[in-house]
Amino acid sequence: MIRLGLVSFSDGRIRVHESLEPDILEHQRKIQSILESTGEIEVITSEIVFSTNIARDQGIFLRKNSLDGIVFNIPVFAFPNFSVITARLAQCPFFLLGPKDPRYPGLGGLLGASGGLNQVGLRHERLWASLDDPTLPAKLLAFARAAKAATRLKGQVYGLIGGRSIGMYTGAAPAELWQRHFGVDIDHVDQSEIIRRAHSLSENQVKEATEWLKKHVKVIHFDGVQLTPQKLDFEVRCWLALQEIIDEFGFDFVGLKCHFDLSQYFSVQCLAASFINDPYDWRGPKTPVPLACEADSDGALTMQILTLISDLPSTLLDLRFFDVKHNVLVMPNCGAAATWYAARSQDPSENLSKVQIVPSIPKYVGGGAHVQFVFGEGPLTLARLTRSQQGYRMIITKGESIVLPINDVQGTGINWPHAFVQTQVSIDTIIQKMESNHFHAVAGDWCEELKKFCEMLSLDCEVL
């Protein structure tokens, strides 16, 4: 659940406040009901603020409640300094809501508070609206989801397994910039730790995971060269070893180098890249851990933002080709696509029945298994954090994945997972705007939430 504070503001004169209090509380009760009706929000209410002492006390109270964000209810001309004091102490994203009520100068109160907050550099969202407006719940929910992502990202730890992969500048992570902008720490683990742990796992652990795969996936294609029972066993061991590292180090999301050290000399890591991203594995339901292969750190961060906003698995995809005949972006990747996208089902068996475990392509001499499927139909939000001398920016667009036979589409890689994405944005526009070869996707339309997230963190963003 998203935890939102709800605090109401009033006139600083006690006799005036006492005359306003019944109506302010009525507005507060309506706002609380709207928030709770979404089914995603837990509301923590506080005392009405009508003095600087109360403003200070309620700011501290709200900060101590581990909130994702706060809604400021300003239905009257509340003294603007109260909002500034509370916001400064509460220290999380906040939304100024001025309920339309012709009996009171609430619009002036809203603008006075907002102007003061802007002058002292406290970013926020503001809205003057009727509490009966049918669009209000969606607007508040978009704020709440974005606030959750911005708040919960702080203090998280990214596990970078290995280093920069195949020369990609766009995947390298600047630790100090991440801490400054996002509040995220970067920790490093060598890829050799996967290999060391893989050899020490018990046979029973490996057997359980392998038997689960054999039972649920459509087929496992052994070719006797790239993929043998022994290579599958070792890749499963690597998957379990990486999961063990994530659990032990408390990583919230991860990047895995793979190329070319592991894929060249040991095994590709596609089982880990798929199933760690998934909301399930052989043990049952679990929380997805966003994993970007090729150590794409800015990609992993994008994926974590998408997952925090949506509570859904996210994915890494290559911008590989544009098929004119089918009007689709051809977006495969050798690894980091959650199998959940094969059918978008809450039943893992339904998703996995469309998944094939196939030999890795010959370029990866270490061999092992790719996880092959086509994304099921449905809306997608595509996003990517990119970095330049001007700082971070996020590219966002909407698309629709459609199902096509891989052999009928130009630019595919037969062994890989694929998303075939139709979008209203031309390929020429994407080429000019994108600063990375990777794009990231999550099911549904989350553009508003992503825009609000960027506003909260003072990031440039562009919706294509």
Mean pLDDT, residues 360-378: 98
Q: What pLDDT does 171 receive?
A: 87
Q: What pLDDT does 192 receive?
A: 98
The encoded tokens of residue 166 equal 């195949």
- Is the pLDDT score of 201 beyond 90? yes
- pLDDT tens for 109-137 read 999 999 999 999 999 999 999 999 999 99
φ, ψ of residue 294 to 5 degrees: the values are 55, 25
Mean pLDDT, residues 191-213: 97
Band (pLDDT 50/70/90 cuts) for residue 387 is: very high
* Average pLDDT score, the chain: 97
- Is the pLDDT score of 457 beyond 90? yes
Q: What pLDDT does 173 receive?
A: 84
Longest dimension (CA), the chain: 86
Question: Going from the N-terminus, what domains does the chain have, and what CATH number goes with each?
Answer: 2-153 (3.40.50.10940), 157-463 (3.20.14.10)
Backbone region of residue 369 per phi and psi (left: phi > 0; alpha: psi in -120 to 50; beta: other values): beta
The encoded tokens of residue 363 equal 């370029």
Share of the chain above pLDDT 90, in %: 98
Q: What is the pTM of this model?
A: 0.97
Q: What pLDDT does 210 receive?
A: 98
- Is the pLDDT score of 218 beyond 90? yes
Contact 194, 240 (CB under 8 A): no
- pLDDT tens for 310-361 read 999 999 999 999 999 999 999 999 888 999 999 999 999 999 999 999 999 9
Q: What pLDDT does 174 receive?
A: 87
Q: What pLDDT does 261 receive?
A: 94
Q: What pLDDT does 395 receive?
A: 98
CA distances 460 to 386, 451, 455, Å, are 10, 9, 8
Q: What pLDDT does 34 receive?
A: 98
What 3 state SS string does the chain have?
Answer: CEEEEEEEECCCCHHHHHHHHHHHHHHHHHHHHHHHHCCCEEEEECCCECCHHHHHHHHHHHHCCCCCEEEEECCCCCCHHHHHHHHHHHCCCEEEEEECCCCCCHHHHHHHHHHHHHHCCCCCEEEEECCCCCCHHHHHHHHHHHHHHHHHHCCCEEEEECCCCCCCHHHCCCHHHHHHHHCCEEEEECCHHHHHHHHHCCHHHHHHHHHHHHHHCCEECCCCCCCCHHHHHHHHHHHHHHHHHHHHHCCCEEEECCCCHHHHHCCCCHHHHHHCCCCEECCEECCCCCEEECCCHHHHHHHHHHHHHHCCCEEEEECCEEECCCCEEEEECCCCCCHHHHCCCCCHHHHHCCCEEEECCCCCCCCCEEEECECCCEEEEEEEEEEECCEEEEEEEEEEEECCCHHHCCCCCCCCCEEEEECCCCHHHHHHHCCCCEEEEEECCCHHHHHHHHHHCCCEEEEC
**Between β-strands 94-99 and 185-189, what pairing exists: parallel, antiparallel or unpaired?**
unpaired
